[in-house]
């Protein structure tokens, strides 16, 4: 590997890549960013990960992490203060409580988010129906959980907060009007806290598309 740093293949707006970058930033891990175009994925990334989706993290020892959650866990585990920073009801990075939130987010909520965002592609139901179902599945339970605490894990954020934030952000951005109408005050406060965090602002800076160097004959 040419780089002595971890190499991250990423796409700025992808929520999976977003949560991986956020964890890396919080863990103060330096890495080489390779911003890609989804319609022109570099051969080097495909060679590392045939799944052909971002994020992909290649470590200096040539270990490849292909899933955003694996990248997040690896990043946080590099922190000496990981357990204090990510204190949760589970007292571990991904325990039953954290896993439950992630399962709902990455499963039924993500499916409803796609239908809510691209409702014209799913004419079986209205956009408002998809919004209502998404709220019932995850957003209302999150709002209830956050009514008495700052984060899903309590007074400190945990892996669930990091993993869910980019998807709640994407949901909120579908329609400002529809989002404003929702009675989710605690969830909205939680979202704003993440949106205004210096870590998120940093990882959302635009990067030029990485150009793969090809040998010429």
CB 116 within 8 A of CB 174: yes
pLDDT at 216: 38
Q: Find, among 82, 63, 94, the residue nearest to 163 by Cα.
A: 94
Packing angle between helix 110-117 and helix 127-134, nearest 10 degrees? 150
Greatest Cα pair distance in the chain: 65
Task: Kindly give the confidence (pLDDT) of every residue in the chain, 217 residues in length, as a single tens digit, with 9 standing for 90 and above.
Answer: 456 999 999 999 999 999 999 999 999 999 999 999 999 999 999 999 999 999 999 999 999 999 999 999 999 888 876 665 565 555 567 778 889 999 999 999 999 999 999 999 999 999 999 999 999 999 999 999 999 999 998 888 889 999 999 999 999 999 999 999 999 999 999 999 999 999 999 999 999 999 987 543 3
CB 143 within 8 A of CB 185: yes
Here the tokens at position 85 are 């920073």
Domains of the chain: 7-81 (3.40.30.10), 85-197 (1.20.1050.10)
Which residue shows structure tokens 């989706």?
53
Q: Is pTM beyond 0.95 here?
A: no
Here the tokens at position 99 are 């896993």
pLDDT at 203: 97
Angle, CA of 108, 109 and 115, to the nearest 5°? 95
């Amino acid at each position: 590997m040419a780089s002595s740093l971890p190499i991250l293949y990423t796409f700025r707006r992808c929520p999976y890549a977003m949560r991986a970058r956020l964890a890396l930033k919080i863990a103060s891990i330096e890495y080489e960013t390779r911003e890609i175009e989804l319609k022109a994925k570099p051969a080097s990334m495909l060679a590392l990960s045939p799944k052909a989706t971002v994020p992909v993290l290649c470590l200096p020892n040539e270990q490849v992490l292909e899933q955003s959650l694996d990248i997040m866990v690896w990043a946080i585990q590099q922190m000496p203060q990981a357990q204090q920073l990510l204190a949760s009801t589970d007292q571990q990075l991904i325990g039953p409580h954290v896993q439950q939130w992630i399962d709902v987010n990455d499963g039924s909520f993500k499916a409803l988010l796609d239908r809510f965002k691209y409702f014209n592609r799913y004419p079986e139901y209205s956009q408002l129906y998809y919004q209502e179902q998404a709220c019932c599945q995850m957003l209302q339970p999150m709002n209830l959980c956050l009514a008495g605490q700052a984060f899903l894990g309590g007074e400190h954020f945990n892996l669930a907060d990091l993993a869910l934030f980019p998807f709640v952000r994407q949901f909120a951005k579908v329609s400002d009007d529809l989002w404003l109408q929702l009675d989710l005050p605690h969830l909205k406060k939680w979202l704003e806290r993440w949106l205004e965090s210096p870590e998120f602002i940093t990882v959302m800076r635009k990067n030029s598309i990485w150009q793969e160097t090809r040998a010429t004959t």
